[in-house]
Amino acid sequence: KAESDICCTSSNAMAVVRSIPADQEIIFVPDTHLGHYVQEELGREMIIWDGYCPTHSRIREVDVLREKEDHPNAVLIAHPECPLGIREIADELLSTGQMCTFAKESAHTEFIVATEIGMLYRLRNENPGKKFYSVSDRAVCPNMKKIDAEKVLWALEDLQHRIVVPEPIRSQAKKSIDAMMAIQ
């Protein structure tokens, strides 16, 4: 973040890219799939870093097609960090927050979810009358699974693992976050 001029998330990447003057070159990092999605949607040329979310990259087209066959009435909602083949067959491309809103507001009652498998817990809790199917048991983020309520409680009780970001890294990173927040 300290090396970036502006940050973005999957939910605001379009708005962030739109906010950058057309004559200004964009280097989009870290996710190639999200970058290509934004480029396709906006027609804006960008230099796209070849990084990716390993969890979304483990979602395979063959698994999605199997779920679509098994649940023909379900709407396929996919995260824009999924590979191109998944994005092309998705009914809706949505960030995590957008998935929650869409599921809640949709008249549909069945959804195939192409993102981290933990999202199904939230979607099912927020929409008890609807069904949600994961595309793959491999769509697990090991980093997200490192954090649980018990570990958060320990951290708050012990206050032992304080993270301090030194200057000027902190203030440089804050500028890129503030620039993003100014767009929202």
pLDDT in tens, 12-54: 999 999 999 999 999 999 999 999 999 999 999 999 999 999 9
The overall average pLDDT reported for the chain is: 96
d(CA 182, CA 184): 6
pLDDT of residue 155: 87
DSSP code of residue 95: -
pLDDT of residue 40: 96
pLDDT of residue 62: 97
pLDDT at 184 > cutoff 70: no
What ranges make up the beta strands (E) of 95-157?
Answer: 110-114, 131-134
d(CA 53, CA 26): 20
